[in-house]
Amino acid sequence: MWKYVPNWHSLKSLGKSKVIRSSYWWLFLVPMLAKVFEATGDEILVTILNATFKITLKLPFSWSLFYFSAVCFAAASLIYLVRCPQMIDAYESFEDWEKSGRDQTSLIRGFLFAYRDDAGMAPNIISDKTKDYFLKHHLKYTGDCSKITKESLTPMSVIKTGIPKENLKATYYYVFDTYKVLRSKARLLMFVFYTIGFSCFLLVLVQNFIYVCKYL
């Protein structure tokens, strides 16, 4: 099931969207606006130059539906803010990472952190086989890989091994791809909230469209 859940890089455009992040404001504005319209009623009379005009304030959609959509978007944005790996959120490419001035040990520590962060998941996204491949092929580590587990601390010998210069770019993308699929439960929950939020918002748009067509 987990392989069908969008990865962090796919969710990033939504997670960093200023429009969706503005949903926090709607959590406060919607109840206030609903109260205002409730107090004024469905219609108001406006007099201009002795002529009276009737303005209809009745809205063609449910306030609760619009509010629930905002709640879902806010919840998804909060999950992204709290659970999205920093490497995914901060960088788009190897060049971005390189310009940031980070050194190669951050990739080693980052991968092993991700390897441990995956502990307790069923199935594990980062298996021992994946970890061994990283150590042997990207770092050229010659030590005993079996001693590096999800419970153990990272030996300094691994950090000191470093990453061969010719492997640096490939290692970055290997670690980046690893981070993309971390924290499956958070990604699934975020995807569910976005799906519900967009569904509610779509219903609001459909209700408005039907309302406009009805009175054309």
Please tell me the distance from the alpha carbon of residue 147 to that of residue 2, in angstroms, as a whole number: 28
For residue 199, the model assigns a pLDDT of 92
215 vs 82 pLDDT, higher one: 82
Express each pLDDT in 41-86 by its tens digit: 555 555 666 666 555 555 555 677 888 888 899 999 999 999 998 8
3-state secondary structure at position 73:
helix
For residue 115, the model assigns a pLDDT of 83
- How many H helices and E strands in the chain? 11, 2
Is residue 9 exposed (0-12), middle (13-18) or buried (19+ Cβ within 10 Å)?
middle
Annotated domain spans of the chain: 1-81+185-216, 86-182
Structure tokens at 205: 């748009």
Please tell me the distance from the alpha carbon of residue 112 to that of residue 201, in angstroms, as a whole number: 40
Q: Are 89 and 16 in contact (CB under 8 A)?
A: yes
- Cβ burial 149-158 (10 Å sphere, 16+ → b, else e): eeeeeeeeeb
pLDDT surpasses 80 at 185: yes
For residue 189, the model assigns a pLDDT of 93
Helix, strand, coil abundance in the chain, percent, nearest 5: 65, 5, 25
Place of tokens 């901060």: 90
For residue 75, the model assigns a pLDDT of 93
Helix/strand/coil (H, E, C) string of 197-208? Answer: HHHHHHHHHHHH
Express each pLDDT in 89-146 by its tens digit: 988 889 998 888 888 888 888 888 888 876 555 555 678 888 888 888 888 777 788 8
Express each pLDDT in 145-182 by its tens digit: 888 887 777 777 777 777 888 888 998 998 898 888 88
Report the mean per-residue pLDDT for the chain. Answer: 79
pLDDT band (50, 70, 90) for residue 192: very high
Instruction: For Cα atoms 179, 133, 139, give the angle at the middle one, nearest 5 degrees.
Output: 85
3-state secondary structure at position 45:
strand
Mean pLDDT, residues 23-29 taken together: 76
